[in-house]
Structure 1
């Protein structure tokens, strides 16, 4: 197979895994009802923290999967 095609397939698999991870995270937050428990001011602060945590976790997973497939 062509090397470019393998790279595209690898990136597609990584994107799908990260999408599923985000979807599961979103479902967990909805189940816990964590977004709507607090007043608006505190909710914005907590949401910002969750966004940062999600971004860090996603980037760590991306690096791990990327290093595995290399």
Structure 2
């Protein structure tokens, strides 16, 4: 389960979509960039076994926090 999810704009010009995000999963901090087209660029290492579940959860959290406001 993802905890302490945070996001902030990637660009100073907030009219441009893109966000940096971070969260904890299994007591490890993970970071990445969420592009406007939904592509996630991981800036920390993640275990292959966790990757699909984390991608789904990040998409859901971004949809809730950014797009559904």
Q: Using structure 1 for the length normalisation, give the TM-score.
A: 0.39
> Which of the pair has the greater relative contact order for Cα pairs under 8 Å at 6+ separation?
1
* More strand, by proportion: 2
Question: Larger Cα Rg: Structure 1 or Structure 2?
Answer: 1
What is the TM-score with the length of structure 2 in the denominator? 0.40
